[in-house]
């Protein structure tokens, strides 16, 4: 049974972080890392718990990264709940919280951008230009600062996870990346920091996203392979609630390129708007086994 940490060391500079991690390693501890942008919820807690179950010390970063927002109002409205974040992190088993300023992450003279390539130009990359460059840059920076043995990312952001796996391979970053399954509310809505911006009516309308994905999953489990049919199952639910759609796309689980048929491991990815709140979600689909 997981025993939550009774203490949480809060550090705000790279120097303080290095000292805290070095102290843990001096005790023979292995280090896990969960990067976040704060506004922690049960989904984040699940990542932290997974890290605490596997490793001795767990670093949680809380940093709203401005370089991955292509919409100034989205950055301005992003929820910031630092005191509550620290408590959620502590209860979930974190031992170190890294809550740096923007100047600490991007000091004077910082001039490097990590560009992940073709995978970052699709789906989210197409609809949020520059987003993945900012994400990849800050993740590479944080992985270099924390020097963790293992870092944990949620599969709700499936394209982000794939990109992080790529940049750690390409840049020979010696941190293992582990994905953790999407955590959902009891009614199926994927947990997200953005959910708290939904009003009651918007919250109900947002359930069309998971309803559509689950309907497509049932079709795939029953043998359906047509990408258009699987996508239509989602689009139909979104249309009932009149939710503006950025994309609904069945893509290869590795490259995130669109496919015509479910003939390999795939991700059915969705991005749509509920009022002024943009939400993403996905399910991973595998071709159904054919029994002779």
Return the closest-CA partner of residue 270 out of 182, 117, 158: 158
Q: How far is CA 215 from CA 26, 66, 209, 212, in A?
A: 51, 36, 10, 5
- Catalytic member of 44, 127, 131, 273: 44
**Distance between CA 250 and CA 46 in Å, rounded?**
27
SS3 call for 279 = strand
Kindly report the backbone phi and psi dihedral angles of residue 285, in degrees, each rounded to the nearest multiple of 5, phi listed first: -120, 140
Element (H, E) at 50: helix 42-54
Told to judge if 242 belongs to the known catalytic residues of this protein, a careful annotator would answer no
Categorise residue 121: left if φ over 0, alpha if ψ from -120 to 50, beta otherwise: alpha
Angle, helix 42-54 to helix 82-92, in steps of 10 degrees = 40
Element (H, E) at 177: strand 176-180
**Distance between CA 149 and CA 174 in Å, rounded?**
7
- Active-site residue list: 44
């Amino acid at each position: 049974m997981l025993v939550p940490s009774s203490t949480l060391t809060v550090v705000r500079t790279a120097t303080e972080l290095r000292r805290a991690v070095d102290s843990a390693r001096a005790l023979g501890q292995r280090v896990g890392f969960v990067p976040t942008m704060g506004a922690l919820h049960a989904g984040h807690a699940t990542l932290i718990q997974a890290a605490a179950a596997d490793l001795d010390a767990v670093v949680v970063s809380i940093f709203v990264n401005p370089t991955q927002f292509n919409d100034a109002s989205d950055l301005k409205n992003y929820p910031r709940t630092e005191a509550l974040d620290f408590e959620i992190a502590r209860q979930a088993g974190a031992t170190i919280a890294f809550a740096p300023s923007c100047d600490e992450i991007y000091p004077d003279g910082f001039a490097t951008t990590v560009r992940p390539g073709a995978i970052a130009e699709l789906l989210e990359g197409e609809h949020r230009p520059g987003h993945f460059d900012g994400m990849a840059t800050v993740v590479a920076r944080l992985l270099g600062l924390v020097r963790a043995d293992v870092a944990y990312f949620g599969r709700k952001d499936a394209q982000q996870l794939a990109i992080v796996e790529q940049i750690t391979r390409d840049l020979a970053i010696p941190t293992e990346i582990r994905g953790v399954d999407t955590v959902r509310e009891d009614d199926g809505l994927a947990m997200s920091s953005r959910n708290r911006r939904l009003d009651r009516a918007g919250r109900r309308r947002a359930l069309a996203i998971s309803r559509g994905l689950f309907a497509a999953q049932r079709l795939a489990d029953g043998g359906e392979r047509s990408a258009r049919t699987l996508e239509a199952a989602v689009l139909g639910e979104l249309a009932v609630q009149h939710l503006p759609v950025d994309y609904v796309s069945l893509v290869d689980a590795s490259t995130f390129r669109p496919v015509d048929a479910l003939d390999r491991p795939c991700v059915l990815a969705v991005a749509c708007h509920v009022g002024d709140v943009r939400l993403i979600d996905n399910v991973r689909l595998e071709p159904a086994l054919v029994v002779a």
